[in-house]
Structures are given as structure tokens and as C-alpha cells.
Structure 1
Amino acid sequence: MLKHRYTFYFAFFAIALLSFINRDLTPVNELKYISIALEALQSNHWFAFYNHGQIYADKPPVYFWIIMVGIKLFGTNGAALFTCLFSILPAIGIAEVMHRWTKHELKPAMGNIAVVMLISSGLFLACAIILRMDMLMALFITLALYQFHLAFIRQQQYLAPSAQRYFILLFILLALLIKGPVGLLLPVLSIFAFLWQKKSLKQWSLYFPLKGVLLFLLIIGLWGLGIDYDGGHQYLYQLTIGQALKRGIHASVHPEPIYYYLQSAFSTLQPWSLLLVVSGLGFILQFFKSKSQLETQSKLSDTACLFLTVTITGVVMLSAVSSKLEIYFLPLMPFVIFASVMILQQLNERKWWLWGLYPIAVLTMIAPIVALFFTSALDKLPVSLSDAYLLLASLFIFGVITMGLLLKQKYQHAVVSLGCTMLAIILVAALVVPKYNNLLGVEQVANLAQQQSPKYGNQGYYAYKKESLQNMDVYFNQPVRLINTVQQAVNLKVGSVIITKNKQAEIIKALAAKGQKPSYINTEGKYTLLVR
């Protein structure tokens, strides 16, 4: 059994950091964020951000400021490793805040189990090992709601209001400036729903004091003035009205049906989805079975009520927004998992744990064996058979351990074993990923381009029909220009370096039609480099 949660924190931190060190950045998002920050530094923009000259009003400034600090301190190469800490450490921070929040309601062993479940859940773990601002926003949303609950407890005890109510506003402000409207709406609507449920809406001003709200609005106003000064009215419009139309009302990006999160939650919460469903069913059954004893057996604590309120409010709010992505569910995950563990502790019957854990343990143990009978399918994977077998072996070993623990009815130990299974998967991936960086990122083809360009006169870098390749300016420290037609490629100066993804045949054919051919051509993974 995990004796202390810090053991799991350390293992998670080490494995997550190793995965960042060993892998290339993805050009679509991770490299793009560094490119935007680099462009902001070069053009001296601090409030308005651009991606290769085009307005990028999708995100507020704080995360880009962090990357800019990283570039200033460690250069473009070190900035990625510096920025990754703002995904890993907030993940640990969320788990620790939730543990301390529930320490008076969860037994120590159950508190540790909740930590393991949170950190090792699929979406949460994935978001902790990529460069995105979502985990940092989720931390401040969690902190805002934690401070609200502390203030609520003080009010229930008839104690004088404390500085906690100002910390509520501070953390909401930071969440807003990191990611945008979700950082504001989720905590505010959750607090409103909770106070309404408790028939305490009249106390709203105790948690949102007028002075604090005015200061909050003043800072937002100053931010707006900074945007208007730095980027003009058009940028300010795109950040506010434009984003509301683009993502909130009639989504032009990531449009999904209203039931999307109910559909995707089962996969994002793996490997704990079935256990969470079982906990909910167990509580419902207990509620109807012991309705006369509701006050003593089935009544939820204020903490659990708040967690469930945040979950329900968040799902309704996110479902009402037209643009949807699985990662938007991230801020709700701590509340879903900890509320479920609190319910499981209240049910106090091993059968609920066993029903929720047995199927995933069986799958973890049996799936690797079944996969061995489909080697033809394994051959089609973009990894070598030896690496696939290593991953399958890890799954099988931990599956056997988990099943053995369940057979002994040591369900708490089994949870830790499954959590370690998820970390083992990330560890194996981190160890083998350098072999496949040419499939994941573009650093290898960038290095090749830098080697070849001087040999042909340094005529510049061009991305053919692939906008995300412009973000390779992070490696070149000079612009990568986008060309979208074969004629543009043919008209480039001899010696120009062209990078493309699966489109090289078009250029070669067009050059051949003019009796020409590339001066140099080579393929690295999914990308091809041609020298005109």
C-alpha cells in the first residue's frame, strides 16, 4: 500500500519530466505557443499576440508571458523544458489541494487513493505531460473554489470574514487571464449554484466583496486598455466578441453535439470510469434502500455537495457551449474523482470497489495476451515489435499484480497498482520515444534543413501547404514562409529550402515539367525536405 502520497508525486514528476526531455514538441500546439511567444518578444508585444503576423486572440496573455520568461532565461531550446513545469507542478498542486481539502473527511488511506486515481486518470495524466495552459487554469479554479469553501465554513461558524474572499477573486482572475472565460464562469456559476442549493444566496456579497469586485474589474479594464493599445480595436474585438461567436455560440472550431461530455467522460476518466459509475450507482441504491435513514447514512457532507455541484454545473455549462474538446473537461476531474471516493468510503462495502476494479484488471491482464495472437496488426503500428512487446509486458505484469490483490480483496492496494500501471505506460513511452521523434515532431527535419541551407546559399525556408510548419521558426530563428501552390514553389530561388508533409510529389512533378529537379531531397518521418 502507498504509505505516503509524496512517493507517488515524486514518481509522477520524474516520469513526466523524462517524457518532456526525450520527445519533440508537436508542431500544431506546443511549437506554436513557443513560436507565438518568440514573435511577441521580437516585435515587443505584451498584450496582443500574433502567429506569423496573423492575429492570435484565442488565449489571454499569462501563459505566453511564462513562455517569454523561459525564452529570455534559457533560450528557445530551454523554454520548452521550463514551460513544462507549469503543467507538471500544477497537476501535483491540484492533487495536494484536493487532499488537504478533504483530509477531515477522507481517511488517510482513502485520501492517498484519491490522489493516485486523480493523477493516473487518462486525461489528467495526458494534460500534465503536454505544453498547454489548461492544467494551470485548473489549478487556480481549484484554489478559488477551495478558498470559497473555507470562507463558507467560517460563515457557518459565525466567524468574521477573512482574506479568503479576496483570494477567491484573485484565483478567478488568474484562471481568466490564463485560459479565458471558463476560468471565470466555472467557479462563479458553481458558487452561485451551491449557495442557491444551500438557500444562502443572500450571502453572495460575503464571498465577493464590493471592493474586491471593483478591483477585479479595474484589472480587467486595464488589461483591455493594454490590448487596445498593443493590438488595436480589431484585436480587442477578436478576443471578446469574436471568440464568443467562434467558440461559444456558433462554433467554427471543434463543434460537437450537446451530449459530447457525457459521451466522452467514460474515456477521459479511464482507468477509473467503471469504478466512478459504480460509486454513483451504489449511492443511488443506498438512497432508495435506506430513505428513512437518509440523515444518518446517505446525507452528503457540504464538501461532497460542493464537489457534485461543481461537476454538474461544469458539465451543463460546457455542454451549452458550442465548441467542445475533451480537454475542456479537465477542471472538473478533481471534483468528480474525489466526490466518488468520498461516496465509496461512505458506502463502506468492498463489493463496490471490486465491481469497479475487476473488469479493468482483467482487461489489463488479458489484453496483452490476446494482442500476441495478432502480430500482423502489431506490425502495422508505427513502433517496432520489440517496443510494442515491452509495453504489453508492462501491462501484463501490473495486470497480474492487480488481479492478485483483488483476489485477496485488497482493493486499496489494487488501486495503487492500477495507478502505477498508468505511470508505467508513460515511462515506457518516454524511454522509447526518441526513436519516433521524426513521427511526432519536426526537430530532426529542422536540423537537416539547417545543415543543407548554407550549402545552397541560405535562400530561406518555406512550408508547403502546411501552416503548422511555419512554427519551425523556433528552430531557425528566422521566418518560415507559407506557400500554397505548386507555381509558388517552382518560382522560388534556387537553393530555397521547402518542407512539406506528403506533398513532395506535386513539387517534383512540377519541376520535372520544366526540365528541372530538386537540388536535394530527403525524408524524415512524416516530413520531406526539398532544396529548390
Structure 2
Amino acid sequence: MSDPLKAQATSGAPQRYIVLLVVGTLFVLDVLMRPMMPTNETRYLSVAWEMLTGNHWLVPFKNGVSYSQKPPLLFWLINLVWLPGVTEYGARLVAPALSLLALWLTGRLADRMRPGGDFGNAAIAVLGTMVPFYFFAGETNFDGILMLAMVTCAAALWRIGATPEPRLLNWLVFGAALGFGVYAKGPVIFVHVMPLLLGMRWWAGAGRFSIAGSLAALAVAIILVALWLVPAYVTGDAAYREATLWTQSAGRVVNSFAHARPVWYYLGILPMLLFPWIAIRGFWQVRPLDNAEKFAWLWLLGPFILFSLISGKQPAYLLPAMPAAALLLANRWPERIGKPWIVADVLVIAMITLLVMPSGALGASIADFLDLRLAIVVLIPLALVVAGMMRRPGLVWLAVPAIGLALNLAYFIGPAGKIMSPVEIATILAEKDGRIGHAGPDYHGDFHFAGRLRAPLTLLPDQAAIAAFAKKNPDGLIVGRLTEGVRPDWAPQNTVRYRKKGTWAVWNIEEMTQ
């Protein structure tokens, strides 16, 4: 497989160490300037915290119940960082660090696809400054780790396709990468890998695909996963076994119990996913494809189509496919750019219009969440800066980092940082650890790590459960939303503006009869 990418030299791309330094610095600032975000970061940090305090090393727990939605790799890594001592910032930097590794490996893969030149630098610059990478890979989540696993799988497959006589060792390395992907986020790695594997005859040529090699790789992946999964099945309860076998894999495909969206959802958010690079001239032009572009298109379109057909959809689900988009976009570095500043100006004007809406549900919600004067002071200069960057090909890659830095400043200076932080409520609850009820049937672990709670919150789905809990815990607390759902019928001790869904409250049971 000798065909290189048939593109002009990507001269002018920034050096990769500059991009890695910029993105890495922004990731650190992101962690330092904004709070742990509900519900993902608060939930996953709480699961890691319960793994540590309860010695649940095989089967993760959330609020005292086995947590089957994700494999334990992220929680293991967080606890590894916690060996010297438990820190919020250290835990929240784990996933961004792995995403940076995926960014660097994408550049290495690009170097192998097109030896010499500047293609690897361009690929890193594009991927590191795409909206999905900056906003999803920088938070405590599983999609950045899955992206690292997918880049590793893609590099192994490219090596197999590029070798005149693929050796069994290459297939075994691919199997190890596939096993790592299962540890990262479960069997969803196959959605990303299978289009590349099954399409190998198309992008690598006849004779490259090997049934024996594929089976050997699958065997390695199964063996690696079984090292954890078999003991977890033995020690986990029946609900955990059923969930890991069906609910969290095939069940999500057939009928999503969360994030269900229409089939056209990803097509609708595609401009956001590819911003600002979507405006590069020629990206959508049809032309003969060489092997490397076939590889990248399969990597991108395969998951895009499959996830569109799957019931549950989230923008971050496509993050592991974004390195493929970066490879294709880097093949048309901004010397060929059209007029992307128009895209930037329209985006910023739309943001300002939403922020200054004087009335209406949307305007009122944003006004409560963000200081409008601060937003305008930040956004007007931001509009000018981003528009200026988009007019200069050599600065296009800095557009998204500029937006991200502005948003971090808004979190740090404005009320949003306090509103999204669980710390105020968690500090109140910590005084009554073990005697806390949650008004409502669902609790996502918002306060466990923030308050360093060790006992589960008792779920109180109705008034009868609230009354029974109050009788059993006369000096306890109940936490829940004040504006909706089940709640105690006496006045709360504290009310706190938390999250975008209204005011939360803490009820002191001792005040019930006062």
C-alpha cells in the first residue's frame, strides 16, 4: 500500500509541540477555572471515590449500588493518581491527559500515512482545535479515552494494511488495542473499528484482510477483557450481570433509555462538530480517493452512519471518529481555505442575539445563568478576535481555543461557576453523612465526591418514603429540587441555585415540627 495522500504540501501548519502546549495549557486552565461539571464529572468522580472508600475494585459502585454503565478503567486510573493523596484537580486531569496522548498519536499516524512534509503537524493542529476535541476531550469522561483506543486500533490496522505480508504479531497488537478499547468504554469500540476492518480490501488492497488474523486479534481482546470481566461477573450481583451482558450494550442499540434522538441528529450538528474547519474550500468536493483517504473516510463515515441508526445519541459519541476528520481536513490546510470568517461572524452574532434577548424562557434562563454585562464584554472582543483569526489562514487553528478561553473566563468570573458547582450543597450534607435522604427516585452522585461522603443517600421517591426516613433519622437532612418533583412539606433550611434546572434545597428534619 504505497499510495500517499495526494494533496498539496501542508506548509504553514504550526509545529506539533506548539499545538500540544496550547491545548494542554487550555485543558489545565479549564480544570482550574471551572467547577466539576454535573452530571458527568460529578458522577464519575463519585464512582471513583466509592471505589476507593469501599474497596470496590472489580465492580464499580454509585451511591451504594453496583454501577454497570461503564467499565472501570477510568476509575482505576483516577485512583492511581490518588495514590499520593485524593485531589480533585489530579482526578480531573486524567482524561484530558489521555486525550492529549491521542492527539499526539494522531500526528504519528499521519506521519506514517504520508512520510515527510508537514502532514502530521497539520493533523494535530486540526484535531486539537476542533470543537468536539476541546469541549469533550477536556472533561472527565470516557470518550477521550475511547478516542485514544481508536487511534491505537487505527494505527495497528494501517500497519497491517501497509505491510506486504502482514505478520501475526501485527494482528495480535491490534487485538491488544481492541481490548484496551473495551476497557475504555465497553463494546462500543466495535462500532468504530468494524468499518475499517471489514473495508480493508477496499482501502488496503486484496489480500490484506485475514480471517485468521482477525480471529487471533479477537481472541487477544477477549482474553484481556476476561481478566476483569470474569471476576466482576463472579463478584457482582444479578442486576450487574444482566446490565453488562445486555442493557448497556445491545439494549442501548434497540431502545435507548437515555439520550434518544432522531436519526438525522448528527447530520444536524455536523457544522458544529467540524467548526471552524468545515469552511475549508474543497472539503466536500468529490474526487478520486487514494488508500489513505479511503481509510479516513471509512473511519469517519462508518461510525457516523451506525450511530445515526442507534437510538441513543450524544455529540461526544463521535469524538473517537474526529481524528479521521482531522486527517481529511489537514489534507486541505488553510492555504486552500474559503471564507470561514463568515461562519465565525454568524456564530458570534447568534450567541450575542441569544444573550441579549430581553424576555422569554430562553432569555430568562440565560440571564439567570450568566452575567449578561460580562458576557457582552467578553463576546464583543471575542467576535472581533475570532473574525480576525478566521481571515488569516495561519491563525484559523486558534479560533476555538480563543472561544474556549473566553468561556472559561466567564465561568471563573461570572455566576455560572458557582451555579454549576456542587460544593455548596455537598458541604452542608457532609455534616450529616449517613443520615441524608434524596427527594426523588434518581440520584446521579452529584455530591458524594464533592462532600467526601462515605454513606449512600437514601432515595425517597414519594411522600411515604420521606415520612418514613424522617421518623428513622430525626436529626438527618433531605436534599432535592425545590421547584419540581417530590419534596418535603416543610420549609427548607437552605436553598441553593444549582445547575440549570432550578433551585435546590436542603431540609433539616429537626425543623419539621417547628
Tell whether the 8 Å contact from 2:95 to 2:144 is kept in structure 1 after alignment.
Answer: yes
Tell whether the 8 Å contact from 2:99 to 2:138 is kept in structure 1 after alignment.
Answer: no
Structure 2 residue matching 1:523: 3-state secondary structure: strand
Q: Which residue of 2 aligns with 1:392?
A: 379
Tell whether the 8 Å contact from 1:15 to 1:427 is kept in structure 2 after alignment.
Answer: no
Question: 1:139 offset after TM fit, Å?
Answer: 0.7
1:279 paired with 2:282, answer yes
Q: What CA distance in whole angstroms lies between the structure 2 residues aligned with 1:396 and 1:208?
A: 50
The one-letter code of the counterpart of 1:117 is: V
The superposition leaves residues 331-362 of structure 1 with CA deviations (integer Å, 9 ceiling, x where unpaired) of: 111101221331x26xxx95x5124x131243
Structure with the largest fraction of helix? 1
Q: Which residue of 2 aligns with 1:293?
A: none
Question: 1:151 offset after TM fit, Å?
Answer: 2.7
The one-letter code of the counterpart of 2:480 is: T
Tell whether the 8 Å contact from 2:352 to 2:376 is kept in structure 1 after alignment.
Answer: no
Structure 2 residue matching 1:177: 3-state secondary structure: helix
Q: How many residue pairs get matched?
A: 484
Q: What CA distance in whole angstroms lies between the structure 2 residues aligned with 1:154 and 1:389?
A: 56
1:354 paired with 2:335, answer no
Q: Which residue of 2 aligns with 1:468?
A: 443
Structure 2 residue matching 1:380: 3-state secondary structure: helix
The one-letter code of the counterpart of 1:189 is: P
1:62 paired with 2:73, answer yes
Tell whether the 8 Å contact from 1:466 to 1:500 is kept in structure 2 after alignment.
Answer: no
Q: Give the counterpart of 1:223 among 219, 222, 228.
A: 228
Question: 1:56 offset after TM fit, Å?
Answer: 2.1
Larger Rg over CA atoms = 1
Question: 1:25 offset after TM fit, Å?
Answer: 2.1
The one-letter code of the counterpart of 2:413 is: V
Q: Compared with structure 1, are the counterparts of its residues 362 and 32 closer, same or farther at alpha carbon in structure 2 (3 Å cutoff)? A: closer
Tell whether the 8 Å contact from 2:436 to 2:457 is kept in structure 1 after alignment.
Answer: yes
Q: What CA distance in whole angstroms lies between the structure 1 residues aligned with 2:465 and 2:257?
A: 29
Q: Which residue of 2 aligns with 1:416?
A: 397
Q: What CA distance in whole angstroms lies between the structure 1 residues aligned with 2:386 and 2:155?
A: 36
Q: What CA distance in whole angstroms lies between the structure 1 residues aligned with 2:146 and 2:104?
A: 16
1:47 paired with 2:28, answer no
Q: What CA distance in whole angstroms lies between the structure 1 residues aligned with 2:259 and 2:352?
A: 37
Structure 2 residue matching 1:280: 3-state secondary structure: coil
Q: Which residue of 1 aligns with 2:178?
A: 172
The one-letter code of the counterpart of 1:502 is: L
Q: Which residue of 2 aligns with 1:135?
A: 144
Q: What CA distance in whole angstroms lies between the structure 2 residues aligned with 1:253 and 1:165?
A: 35
Q: What CA distance in whole angstroms lies between the structure 1 residues aligned with 2:61 and 2:459?
A: 15
Q: Which residue of 1 aligns with 2:3?
A: none
1:478 paired with 2:455, answer yes
Q: Compared with structure 1, are the counterparts of its residues 106 and 236 closer, same or farther at alpha carbon in structure 2 (3 Å cutoff)? A: same
Q: Compared with structure 1, are the counterparts of its residues 368 and 252 closer, same or farther at alpha carbon in structure 2 (3 Å cutoff)? A: closer
Question: Structure 1 residues 360-369 or 458-467, which shifts more?
Answer: 360-369
Q: What CA distance in whole angstroms lies between the structure 2 residues aligned with 1:361 and 1:106?
A: 33
Q: Compared with structure 1, are the counterparts of its residues 395 and 243 closer, same or farther at alpha carbon in structure 2 (3 Å cutoff)? A: same
Structure 1 residue matching 2:505: 3-state secondary structure: strand
Tell whether the 8 Å contact from 1:249 to 1:321 is kept in structure 2 after alignment.
Answer: yes
Q: What CA distance in whole angstroms lies between the structure 2 residues aligned with 1:437 and 1:505?
A: 25
Question: 1:131 offset after TM fit, Å?
Answer: 0.9
Q: Which residue of 1 aligns with 2:108?
A: 100
Structure 2 residue matching 1:467: 3-state secondary structure: coil
Tell whether the 8 Å contact from 1:466 to 1:482 is kept in structure 2 after alignment.
Answer: yes
Question: 1:168 offset after TM fit, Å?
Answer: 1.4
1:437 paired with 2:417, answer yes
1:521 paired with 2:502, answer no
TM-score normalised to the size of structure 2?
0.83
Question: 1:170 offset after TM fit, Å?
Answer: 1.2
1:117 paired with 2:108, answer no
Q: What CA distance in whole angstroms lies between the structure 1 residues aligned with 2:271 and 2:186?
A: 26
Q: Compared with structure 1, are the counterparts of its residues 145 and 506 closer, same or farther at alpha carbon in structure 2 (3 Å cutoff)? A: closer
1:37 paired with 2:48, answer yes
Question: 1:205 offset after TM fit, Å?
Answer: 4.8
Unaligned runs of 5+ in 1: 288-298, 512-516
Unaligned runs of 5+ in 2: 1-11, 510-514
Equivalent positions of 1:183-332 (< 5 A) are 183-200=189-206, 203-205=209-211, 207-208=213-214, 210=216, 212-275=217-280, 278-281=281-284, 283-284=285-286, 287=287, 299-332=288-321
Q: Which residue of 2 aligns with 1:295?
A: none
Q: Give the counterpart of 1:382 among 354, 369, 386.
A: 369
Question: 1:2 offset after TM fit, Å?
Answer: 6.4
Tell whether the 8 Å contact from 1:87 to 1:136 is kept in structure 2 after alignment.
Answer: yes
Q: Compared with structure 1, are the counterparts of its residues 98 and 267 closer, same or farther at alpha carbon in structure 2 (3 Å cutoff)? A: same
Tell whether the 8 Å contact from 1:224 to 1:236 is kept in structure 2 after alignment.
Answer: no
Q: What CA distance in whole angstroms lies between the structure 1 residues aligned with 2:190 and 2:338?
A: 39
Tell whether the 8 Å contact from 1:24 to 1:441 is kept in structure 2 after alignment.
Answer: yes
Q: Which residue of 1 aligns with 2:23?
A: 12
TM-score normalised to the size of structure 1?
0.80
Q: What CA distance in whole angstroms lies between the structure 1 residues aligned with 2:220 and 2:343?
A: 50
Q: Which residue of 2 aligns with 1:497?
A: 477
Question: Structure 1 residues 384-393 or 126-135, which shifts more?
Answer: 384-393
Question: 1:150 offset after TM fit, Å?
Answer: 2.0
Q: Compared with structure 1, are the counterparts of its residues 25 and 106 closer, same or farther at alpha carbon in structure 2 (3 Å cutoff)? A: same
Q: Compared with structure 1, are the counterparts of its residues 432 and 198 closer, same or farther at alpha carbon in structure 2 (3 Å cutoff)? A: same
Structure 1 residue matching 2:146: 3-state secondary structure: helix
Q: Compared with structure 1, are the counterparts of its residues 259 and 106 closer, same or farther at alpha carbon in structure 2 (3 Å cutoff)? A: farther
The superposition leaves residues 359-402 of structure 1 with CA deviations (integer Å, 9 ceiling, x where unpaired) of: 12433675677679757759825222342134213412313522
Q: What CA distance in whole angstroms lies between the structure 1 residues aligned with 2:157 and 2:52?
A: 37
Q: Compared with structure 1, are the counterparts of its residues 132 and 221 closer, same or farther at alpha carbon in structure 2 (3 Å cutoff)? A: same
Question: 1:176 offset after TM fit, Å?
Answer: 0.8
Question: Structure 1 residues 330-339 or 475-484, which shifts more?
Answer: 475-484
Question: Structure 1 residues 115-124 or 460-469, which shifts more?
Answer: 460-469
Q: Give the counterpart of 1:531 among 500, 505, 508.
A: 508
Q: Compared with structure 1, are the counterparts of its residues 392 and 375 closer, same or farther at alpha carbon in structure 2 (3 Å cutoff)? A: farther
Q: What CA distance in whole angstroms lies between the structure 2 residues aligned with 1:110 and 1:361?
A: 25
The one-letter code of the counterpart of 1:397 is: L
Q: What CA distance in whole angstroms lies between the structure 2 residues aligned with 1:372 and 1:328?
A: 28
Q: Compared with structure 1, are the counterparts of its residues 86 and 301 closer, same or farther at alpha carbon in structure 2 (3 Å cutoff)? A: farther
Q: Which residue of 1 aligns with 2:35?
A: 24
Q: Compared with structure 1, are the counterparts of its residues 114 and 425 closer, same or farther at alpha carbon in structure 2 (3 Å cutoff)? A: farther
Q: What CA distance in whole angstroms lies between the structure 2 residues aligned with 1:430 and 1:523?
A: 18
Tell whether the 8 Å contact from 2:440 to 2:462 is kept in structure 1 after alignment.
Answer: yes
Q: Compared with structure 1, are the counterparts of its residues 226 and 329 closer, same or farther at alpha carbon in structure 2 (3 Å cutoff)? A: same
Tell whether the 8 Å contact from 2:98 to 2:144 is kept in structure 1 after alignment.
Answer: yes
Structure 1 residue matching 2:443: 3-state secondary structure: helix
The one-letter code of the counterpart of 1:478 is: A
Structure 2 residue matching 1:340: 3-state secondary structure: helix
Tell whether the 8 Å contact from 1:141 to 1:187 is kept in structure 2 after alignment.
Answer: yes
The superposition leaves residues 288-322 of structure 1 with CA deviations (integer Å, 9 ceiling, x where unpaired) of: xxxxxxxxxxx433222200111122223223323
Structure 2 residue matching 1:463: 3-state secondary structure: strand
